[in-house]
């Protein structure tokens, strides 16, 4: 028990620059308190003391603002940052080293008891603030779910899901590089995962290619003794400035 607690505290200090020392984490981090109480509640649930497990989770919800059903499975070094408004359902599974921010729901879309109604987060998943992950599917290892995303389908390992409804903007990779495993606060990645930004950059690059083709056509026409004043008078395209505006 105490070894797991030490692991939890160390992982929080690694992922939260505001955490100054272990004592501060132990006494002032509601996400840690919710995880500790959940372990007691889950033990009661597993050993058929279900009312006591529910009551412990209810007390943790009052104190921390985080609701974790005692039937949920929570791995090691899970960090619920800030945490207020987090809801984790009965059949949810959260793998080791996951990070969950405030307002996240790991919910179910089925009313059938005895089935896997809630999602599974594999190792190292980051779920941004306000995201809703709904259904009995799996979010792959080291995947990221962007803030306020509404995720209704699986995410491959190393993938990133954004939007409402969420879609994958970074595809599955057979081997995830160490760089991709680096922690990304709130699931925000520095490599331009915004699909609108990617689309605009693609259009700008396409326009650059078209302009180059037009310049070659004009040069060919001039070499043949043909001139087109309207084409020559066109304004020069500045892709660098437009890309800067998109960023």
Mean pLDDT, the chain cut into blocks of 10 residues (247 residues total): 87 92 94 96 96 97 96 96 94 96 93 87 96 96 94 94 86 53 62 62 81 81 72 62 66
Please name the helix (run of DSSP H) or strand (run of DSSP E) that holds residue 162, with its range, or none: strand 160-163
Contact 116, 47 (CB under 8 A): no
What local confidence, expressed as pLDDT, does residue 181 receive? 60
Written as six digits, the tokens of 25 are 């984490």
What local confidence, expressed as pLDDT, does residue 224 receive? 80
What local confidence, expressed as pLDDT, does residue 233 receive? 52
What local confidence, expressed as pLDDT, does residue 55 receive? 97
What local confidence, expressed as pLDDT, does residue 229 receive? 62
β-bridge mates for residue 13, sequence order: none
- The backbone torsions φ and ψ at residue 68, rounded to the nearest 5 degrees and listed phi first, read -120, 120
- The backbone torsions φ and ψ at residue 201, rounded to the nearest 5 degrees and listed phi first, read -60, -40
What local confidence, expressed as pLDDT, does residue 232 receive? 53
What is the strand order of the sheet 99-100 is part of?
79-80, 99-100, 126-127, 144-145, 160-163, 166-170
What is the pTM (predicted TM-score) of this model? Answer: 0.74
b/e per residue 159-178 (b: at least 16 CB within 10 A): bbbbbeebebbbeeeeebee
Long-range contacts of residues 27-30, Cβ cutoff 8 Å, at least 24 apart: 30/63, 30/64, 30/65, 30/66, 30/80, 30/82, 30/83, 30/84
What local confidence, expressed as pLDDT, does residue 239 receive? 73
């Amino acid at each position: 028990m105490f070894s797991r607690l030490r692991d939890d505290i160390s992982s929080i200090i690694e992922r939260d620059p505001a955490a100054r020392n272990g004592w501060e984490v132990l006494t002032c981090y509601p996400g840690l308190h919710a995880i500790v109480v959940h372990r007691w509640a889950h033990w009661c649930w597993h050993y058929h003391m279900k009312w006591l497990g529910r009551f412990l989770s209810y007390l943790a919800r009052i104190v921390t603002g985080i609701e974790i059903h005692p039937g949920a499975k929570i791995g090691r070094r899970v960090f619920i940052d800030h945490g207020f408004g987090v809801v984790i359902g009965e059949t949810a599974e959260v793998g080791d080293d996951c990070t969950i921010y405030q307002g996240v729901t790991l919910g179910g879309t089925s009313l059938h008891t005895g089935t896997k109604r809630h999602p599974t987060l594999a190792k190292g998943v980051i779920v941004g603030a306000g995201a809703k992950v709904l259904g009995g599917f799996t979010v792959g290892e080291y995947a990221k779910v962007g803030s306020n995303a509404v995720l209704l389908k699986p995410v491959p390992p190393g993938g990133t899901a954004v939007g409402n409804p969420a879609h994958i903007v970074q595809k599955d990779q057979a081997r995830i590089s160490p760089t991709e495993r680096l922690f990304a606060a709130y699931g925000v990645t520095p490599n331009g995962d915004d699909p609108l930004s990617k689309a605009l950059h693609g259009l700008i690059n396409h326009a650059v290619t078209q302009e180059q083709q037009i310049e070659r056509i004009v040069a060919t026409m001039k070499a043949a003794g043909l001139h087109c004043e309207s084409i020559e008078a066109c304004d020069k395209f500045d892709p660098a400035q437009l890309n800067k505006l998109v960023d």
